[in-house]
Amino acid sequence: MLTVFVAYPFLRGIYLSFLDSVVGREGEWVGFKNYIKLFNDGIFHRAAANTFIYTIIATILKLGIGMAVALMLNNIIRFKRVLRASMLLPWIVPTVLSALAWKWMFDPTFSIINWIFYNLGFIDVRVAWLGSPLGAMASVIIVNTWRGMPFFAITLLAGLQTINPSVQEAAAIDGATPWQRFRFVTWPLLKPVTMVVVLFSVIMTFADFQLVYILTGGGPSNSTHLFATYAYQLAIATGLIGEGAAASLCMFPILFLVVIGQLWYIRRGDGTKGGA
């Protein structure tokens, strides 16, 4: 099964990236030509930089907000189940659907965000949220954070609930402030879970496609293209299958290093904990 669904597409992708395939024609072996073309391609440079910016900022936001929400939910007694279930909504709604709803909210003419801000007196002209490079990038990051945060919150909440309350109580009796209890008790015990969540999130955010494709299509002027959206544009929209495969595979070594780095960090963390 693994061979069919993982190894074959992966190996086929590598093979295609060395061909000059276009739609409907297998193509001939061209060596590293596709990769060389990409490394000289300004749009690809932009997509690569965008992917890093998008992943780093969105992951930090998701971690920060997710942690805050998890801590809050851990202390809430009433309506616990309702709150947890409702918080998961952004995560369980199909991405395409929620992205379309956000696109409507960012619409320069009909944006409800504009309408609210206008009526509150914050703005006096309509803001084109997806119209400027900075605004578009900020918008896609916000939507990604909105969508991905529940994953962090629920997983961290699960982690929090495995922490023995007596440890917290002992720290409280010793006079630790809430911040100290978080910093020196909760955080170290939660770190392995956090690293795993961050690892998954980085992989998913780095390879994100749907949100950007629907919200901006990579525009305006390529300011929100990511590796995945640009690879798709090359391979499927433009028909340059070989180049698209190469663009897509450029993600692999980066993600591979990220995974190795984080797994190494987690293992080291486990070792420390085991020795303590």
Positions in the binding site for another protein (CB under 8 A):
22-25, 37, 40-43, 106-110, 125-126, 128-133, 136, 216-222, 232-233, 235-241
End-to-end CA gap in the chain: 41
Nearer to another protein, 55 or 233 (CB): 233
Nearer to another protein, 197 or 246 (CB): 246
Least distance from another protein to the Cβ atom of residue 40, Å: 7
Q: Which residues contact 245 (CB under 8 A, 6 or more apart)?
A: 13, 14, 16, 17, 21, 34, 231, 235
Least distance from another protein to the Cβ atom of residue 145, Å: 20
Least distance from another protein to the Cβ atom of residue 148, Å: 23
Least distance from another protein to the Cβ atom of residue 219, Å: 4
Burial 68-77 (b: 16+ CB within 10 A, else e): ebbbebbeee
Q: Are 73 and 83 in contact (CB under 8 A)?
A: yes
Least distance from another protein to the Cβ atom of residue 119, Å: 17
DSSP state of 19: B
- For 22: left if phi > 0, alpha if psi spans -120 to 50, otherwise beta; the answer is beta
Least distance from another protein to the Cβ atom of residue 256, Å: 26
Nearer to another protein, 82 or 134 (CB): 134
The distance of Cα 156 from the centroid of its chain, to the nearest Å, equals 17
Nearer to another protein, 28 or 270 (CB): 28
Q: Are 258 and 200 in contact (CB under 8 A)?
A: no
Nearer to another protein, 126 or 191 (CB): 126
- Give the whole-angstrom CA distance, residue 62 versus residue 225: 21
Nearer to another protein, 129 or 151 (CB): 129
